[in-house]
């Protein structure tokens, strides 16, 4: 097909075309791209990556949403705008009207409600309608012509210049080909949709009030350095922030001089432990979570100071001698420690073939080293588990270790297992924000017990300076509630109305649970609202209010129309004279007139 050089060329893309080289697309003459944001209550798994990469390549960007009559207009609009994270692109929002689901929200009025909700959520953002001539005349009531004539139209027609349905007078964008060359336009997933703007580049820029591509703010791949500290001679830790498609992500990079430390791999355990516990128990300067596991059984093979455990040939393994020389998959009589890992990231200085999706984003832990092994690197990425999309994917971790000059890098277990702990000022600190299931006394963020760690012992004393923050060791924390004077923490009283499962964390997907009987009364000072899609694929999003039990488990106040918890009203708060100068007593007068026993709190 011969392209019309008098009309500006655009593509529209979705995860079907992934991965995409947007630089190649731009070199082929494309000036702008329209990226699929989602459909129904699903977001396109490639959207964030495409949105980031297209801007980096210097393409103007718009997003489109495939309208789906099976889900409410408001929910779809909210999900679309939330997905944009404040970056709505340089082009309008494009509403894709072509569905045939005949859902409960079918009809023109619901399309109007969808577009009006978008106006409310993004009042300064233009909308354009994508459709086909026959779909429009067969599915949209002419009684709404006065409403829709405020919009421009993007029409699909692969045979000839499209006929324009009323109330529109002309097409603004024409999708003229759905079989554009994937090879030519950088779409490895296959053919790509091609579109013309009804005008040239100058007219396109004027219509959408655009800056020239070369005037767009430059993108940088350089991560922001937050802080750096020498913890020991041979151990330096950098705290950094990366700007990624999924948002700003913090990570913690450990640079190790192997001539000044001793490497360590933990032995077989009878029960799993939190990473700071490994630091204390084995007198380590630093530890990071290691291999994946089920109970105390690791996924691969390990050796701890000459003593092996686990199974060979399940995963790849790093074999480590007493003088810290590392070999891949081959041990010998000099081997003293060994640790396995599930995924290779870098080999011979090149990023390895990674059989993962780019939307597999979560907390990460990894190890890498230079060819001469003069530098060993550990990395811990703040994040959560898969569904949160917080953290990094495999390529993002691999790119950072490759940029450091690593000849080899491998990924340890991630998600809730990711934990980096360093001994500092006599205390096992946790660096960053782990996301395990357990609240641990003395630590701000929940952690997961793990089955083994890669650790470091040092040959010299730590370098003393002020620690970044005060973190108390697990076993030294007193269960004392500390309050600001005059700001007393009130314990609300609750009653269980129906039998309910209490869960270890506030999530319907948490499998660690216990049954709580109706009639149980308890006090709590903590509630939390969590939004979850149930089921995960195609399910309904519920905003569930969770109440924390005294033993740390959580129960839903209400779910699917069933009320499980009732709050017993507090009508008056009475302060009691203190037993000691630094204490205050709180008495609650309940709705039935009864008074609670005083609860004594320590003032700051």
- Contact assessment for residue 419 and residue 450, using Cβ atoms and an 8 Å cutoff: yes
Tokens 């000036």 belong to residue? 31
In this structure, of 60-69, 92-101, 266-275, 454-463, the range with the lowest mean pLDDT score is: 454-463
Structure-block tokens of residue 22: 């947007």
List pLDDT tens digits, range 524-539.
767 766 767 776 656 7
Evaluate if residue 109 carries a pLDDT over 60. Answer: yes
Q: Dihedral sign, CA of 208, 213, 215, 218?
A: positive
In this structure, of 62-76, 429-443, 587-601, the range with the lowest mean pLDDT score is: 587-601
What is the DSSP pairing of strand 235-244 with strand 307-310?
unpaired
Q: Give the Cα separation of 38 and 42 in Å (integer).
A: 6
Closest by alpha carbon to 112, among 163, 74, 159?
74
Identify the pLDDT of residue 4. Answer: 73
Cα–Cα distance list, 488 to 485, 491, 579, 587, 601 (Å): 7, 10, 16, 11, 8
Q: Give the Cα separation of 49 and 15 in Å (integer).
A: 10
Angle, CA of 211, 216 and 218, to the nearest 5°: 175
Q: Give the Cα separation of 235 and 282 in Å (integer).
A: 18
Evaluate if residue 14 carries a pLDDT over 90. Answer: yes
In this structure, of 93-102, 222-231, 364-373, 594-603, the range with the lowest mean pLDDT score is: 594-603
Identify the pLDDT of residue 440. Answer: 80
Q: Give the Cα separation of 130 and 165 in Å (integer).
A: 12
Q: Exposed/middle/buried for 545, CB within 10 Å: 0-12, 13-18, 19+?
A: middle
Q: Give the Cα separation of 602 and 478 in Å (integer).
A: 12
Closest by alpha carbon to 267, among 249, 250, 286, 282?
282
In this structure, of 203-207, 212-216, 338-342, the range with the lowest mean pLDDT score is: 212-216
Q: Give the Cα separation of 461 and 482 in Å (integer).
A: 34
Share of the chain above pLDDT 90, in %: 56
Identify the pLDDT of residue 470. Answer: 37
Q: Share the mean pLDDT of the chain.
A: 85
Average the pLDDT over 180-203 and give the result: 93
Identify the pLDDT of residue 387. Answer: 67
* DSSP structural state of residue 589: E
Evaluate if residue 570 carries a pLDDT over 70. Answer: no
Average the pLDDT over 565-582 and give the result: 56
9-215: CATH class = alpha beta
Structure-block tokens of residue 358: 């780019």
Count CA atoms closer than 13 A to 231's CA, side-chain side.
Answer: 30
Identify the pLDDT of residue 86. Answer: 81
CATH code of the domain occupying 483-603 = 2.30.30
What is the DSSP pairing of strand 235-244 with strand 364-370?
unpaired
521-530 core/surface letters (b: 16 or more CB in 10 A; e: else): ebebeebeee
Average the pLDDT over 174-199 and give the result: 94
Domain 9-215 and domain 483-603, same fold? Reply is: no
User: Model confidence at 483, in pLDDT bands (50, 70, 90)?
Assistant: very low
Q: Give the Cα separation of 462 and 220 in Å (integer).
A: 36
DSSP 298-328: ESSEEEETTEEEE-TTSSEEEEEETT--EEE
Other CB atoms within 10 A of residue 540 CB: 12
Average the pLDDT over 77-104 and give the result: 92
Evaluate if residue 213 carries a pLDDT over 70. Answer: no
For the chain, how far is it from start to end, CA to CA, in angstroms?
76
- Contact assessment for residue 468 and residue 229, using Cβ atoms and an 8 Å cutoff: yes
Domain ranges in the chain are: 9-215, 229-462, 483-603
Q: Give the strand order in the sheet containing 427-431.
A: 261-265, 453-458, 286-289, 420-424, 427-431
User: Model confidence at 236, in pLDDT bands (50, 70, 90)?
Assistant: very high
Q: Exposed/middle/buried for 109, CB within 10 Å: 0-12, 13-18, 19+?
A: middle
Tokens 């800056």 belong to residue? 211
> Could you tell me which residue, 389 or 422, shows the higher pLDDT?
422
Q: Give the Cα separation of 257 and 234 in Å (integer).
A: 5
Q: Give the Cα separation of 26 and 29 in Å (integer).
A: 5
Q: Dihedral sign, CA of 347, 351, 353, 355?
A: positive
Identify the pLDDT of residue 253. Answer: 97
In this structure, of 12-16, 246-250, 271-275, 378-382, the range with the lowest mean pLDDT score is: 246-250
């Amino acid at each position: 097909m011969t392209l019309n050089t008098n009309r500006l060329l655009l593509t529209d893309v979705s995860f079907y075309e992934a991965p995409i080289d947007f630089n190649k697309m731009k070199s082929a003459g494309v000036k702008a791209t329209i990226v699929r944001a989602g459909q129904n209550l699903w977001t396109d798994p490639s959207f964030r990556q495409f949105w980031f990469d297209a801007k980096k390549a210097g393409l103007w960007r718009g997003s489109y949403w495939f309208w789906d009559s099976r889900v409410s207009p408001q929910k779809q609009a909210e999900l679309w705008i939330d997905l944009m994270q404040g970056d709505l692109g340089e082009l309008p929002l494009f509403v894709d009207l072509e569905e045939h689901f005949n859902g409960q929200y079918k009809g023109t009025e619901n399309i109007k409600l969808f577009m009006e909700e978008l106006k409310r959520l993004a009042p300064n953002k233009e909308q354009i309608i994508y459709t086909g001539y026959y779909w429009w005349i067969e599915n949209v009531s002419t009684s709404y012509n006065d409403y829709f004539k405020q919009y421009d139209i993007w029409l699909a027609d692969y045979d000839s210049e499209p006929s324009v349905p009323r109330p529109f007078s002309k097409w603004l964008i024409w999708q003229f080909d759905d079989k554009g060359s994937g090879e030519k336009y950088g779409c490895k997933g296959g053919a790509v949709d091609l579109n013309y703007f009804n005008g040239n580049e100058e007219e396109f820029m004027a219509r959408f009030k655009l800056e020239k591509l070369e005037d767009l703010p430059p993108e940088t791949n350089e991560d922001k350095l937050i802080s750096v500290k020498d913890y020991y001679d041979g151990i330096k830790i950098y705290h950094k922030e990366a700007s990624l498609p999924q948002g700003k992500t913090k990570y913690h990079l450990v640079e190790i001089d192997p001539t000044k430390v001793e490497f360590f791999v933990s032995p077989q355990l009878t029960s799993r432990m939190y990473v700071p516990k490994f630091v204390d128990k084995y007198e380590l300067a630093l530890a990071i979570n290691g291999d994946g596991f089920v109970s105390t059984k690791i996924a691969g093979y390990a050796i701890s100071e000459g003593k092996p455990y686990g199974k060979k040939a399940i995963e790849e393994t790093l074999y480590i001698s007493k003088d810290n020389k590392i070999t891949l998959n081959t041990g010998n009589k000099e081997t003293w420690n060994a640790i396995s890992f599930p995924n290779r990231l870098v080999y011979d200085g090149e990023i390895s073939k990674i059989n993962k999706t780019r939307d597999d984003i979560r907390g990460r832990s990894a190890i890498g080293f230079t060819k001469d092994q003069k530098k060993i690197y550990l990395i811990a990425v703040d994040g959560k588990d898969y569904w949160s999309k917080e953290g990094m994917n495999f390529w993002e971790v691999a790119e950072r270790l490759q940029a450091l000059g690593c000849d080899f890098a491998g990924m340890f277990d991630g998600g809730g297992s990711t934990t980096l702990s360093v001994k500092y000022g006599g205390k096992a600190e946790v660096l960053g924000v782990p996301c395990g299931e357990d609240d641990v006394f003395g630590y701000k963020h929940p952690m997961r017990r793990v089955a083994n760690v890669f650790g470091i012992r040092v040959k010299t004393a730590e370098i003393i300076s002020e620690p970044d923050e005060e973190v108390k060791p697990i076993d030294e924390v007193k269960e004392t509630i500390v309050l600001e004077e005059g700001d007393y923490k009130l314990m609300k009283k609750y009653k269980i109305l129906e039998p309910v499962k209490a869960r270890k964390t506030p999530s319907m997907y948490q499998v660690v649970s216990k049954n709580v009987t109706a009639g149980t009364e308890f006090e709590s000072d903590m509630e939390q609202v969590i939004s979850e899609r149930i089921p995960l694929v195609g399910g309904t999003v519920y905003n569930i209010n969770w109440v924390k039990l005294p033993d740390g488990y959580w129960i839903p106040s209400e779910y699917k129309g069933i009320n499980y918890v009732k709050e017993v009203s507090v009508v008056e708060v009475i302060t009691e004279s203190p037993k000691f100068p630094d204490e205050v007593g709180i008495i609650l007068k309940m709705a039935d007139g009864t008074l609670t026993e005083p609860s004594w709190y320590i003032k700051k």
